[in-house]
Amino acid sequence: MPSGYDDDRLRELKAFDDTKAGVKGLVDAGVTAVPRIFHHPPDPTPVASAADAADADAIPVIDLARADADRDRVVAQVRSAAESVGFFQVVNHGVPARLTDGMLAAVRRFNERPAAAKAAFYTRDAPRRRVRFNSNFDLFESPAANWRDTLFCQAAPDPPAPEELPADVRGVLPEYAAAARRLASSVLELLSSALGLETGRLGGMGCADGVSVVSNYYPPCPEPEATVGTARHSDPAFLTVLLQDGMGGLQALLGGRWVDVPPVAGALVVNVGDLLELVSNGRMRSVEHRVVANRSRDAARVSVAAFCNVDLGRESSRSGRLYGPIAELTAGGDPPRYRSTTVAEFLAHYDGKGLDGRPALHHFRLPAAASLD
């Protein structure tokens, strides 16, 4: 529990959690003001202007269909994006529109069921439930809650049984997760080449053996200036494949400003995660990002993030493999910037501190690394 929590705030948090209705329950109840547990202090970071052409084009769009005919060019595009921006969008990625459209529609249907229909999935028992619904995984750890609800599924390598999934997503989530995992594996091959490594190096390290599908639902917010949809953070994975609807709201922290990651028809967003920055010794950038509160009066925003990581069950069963900067990337005189860690240790640190505005990677930086920035 962060310092500064008072008894009244704790009671408010517990009362909200006990409803098992999430933020959607507040909206359905007709709230006209954001409860104080969701209040975030004003963010002094400037927001880039949409009229600035440089900002509008800050997030590259990469056509993966060209990877066969002109692989070197695509590798160069991926390298530039991963090293300078940490985000890029991909088109012609091989994930069918029926899956992306179906996934978004299924998440929306689930969240718009009556609260009683969702309550059976509401839990904070993360270690024991591969499928769980709640509002704010870090509700009792972070300084302020976010205006969103989440359906979490540990989807690969061992997907849950159909009866473990809500009926709304049962027919599409496992297939979508498998397609996102295949895309991530293809992107990891490009990233391996971008780092000067053999094509299968990152995949061989297990960077996409496990996939967690995190579906976020952002209801309309009565006071969007008082809170956020998702607080600033970087992702605790090797790679994230993000499906977003057409509403917008995702922003990346680039050059000291919040820059929109705009919806692009047919595209999926890919971003570098903390663990890829760690093993690449800082070559690839895990960039902080956020989602602003939904300003719509009547429509929710939906997104689906596939976090690509190791097979956590396998890692824990064999006492945990150490991940540190890849040796070839430090052999040319660039000293290691991060200490080695297990994925379990990294995730425990990330989850324990919550979305508190501090990058989790800083905890793993070697003392001498600060002088290299």
- Which of 239, 256, 240, 253 is closest to 291 using CA atoms? 253
What is the residue-averaged pLDDT of the chain? 93
Determine, yes or no, domain membership for 40: no
The total number of structural domains that make up the chain: 1
Q: Which residue has the tokens 């709640």?
A: 134
CB within 8 A of 163, min separation 6: which ones?
A: none
Task: State the pLDDT confidence band at 312, using cuts at 50, 70 and 90.
Answer: confident
| Within-domain flag for 175 | yes
Within-domain flag for 122: yes
Contacts of 242 (CB under 8 A, 6+ apart): 250, 268, 269, 270, 271, 303, 304, 305, 306
Domain that holds residue 60: 22-28+54-309+320-372
Residue 364's alpha-carbon distances to 69, 195, 231, 357, in angstroms, are 40, 21, 21, 16
pLDDT digits (tens, 9 = 90+) for 209-238: 999 999 999 999 999 999 999 999 999 999
* pLDDT, mean of residues 248-258: 97
86: in domain: yes
Q: What are the C-alpha distances in Å from 309 to residues 29, 241, 242?
A: 38, 11, 14
Residue 345 has pLDDT above 80, yes or no: yes
* 161: in domain: yes
| Model confidence pLDDT, tens digit, residues 88-145 | 999 999 999 999 999 999 999 999 999 999 999 999 987 779 999 999 999 999 999 9
Q: What is the pLDDT of residue 315?
A: 60
The CATH number of the domain holding residue 87 is 2.60.120.330
Q: Which residue has the higher pLDDT, 57 or 152?
A: 152
The DSSP bridge partners found for residue 290 are: 251
Structure tokens belonging to residue 29: 């109840």
Decide if 315 is inside a domain.
Answer: no
CA distance 47 to 277: 25
The residue with tokens 């229909």 is: 117
Indicate whether 42 belongs to any domain.
no
Q: How confident is the model at residue 320 (pLDDT cuts 50, 70, 90)?
A: confident
Whether the CB-CB separation of 87 and 252 falls below 8 Å is answered with yes
In angstroms, rounded to a whole number, what is the distance separating the alpha carbons of residues 86 and 287?
6
Strand partners for 213 = 153, 306
In a domain, 41, yes or no: no
Among residues 325, 304, 148, the alpha carbon closest in space to that of 230 is found at 148
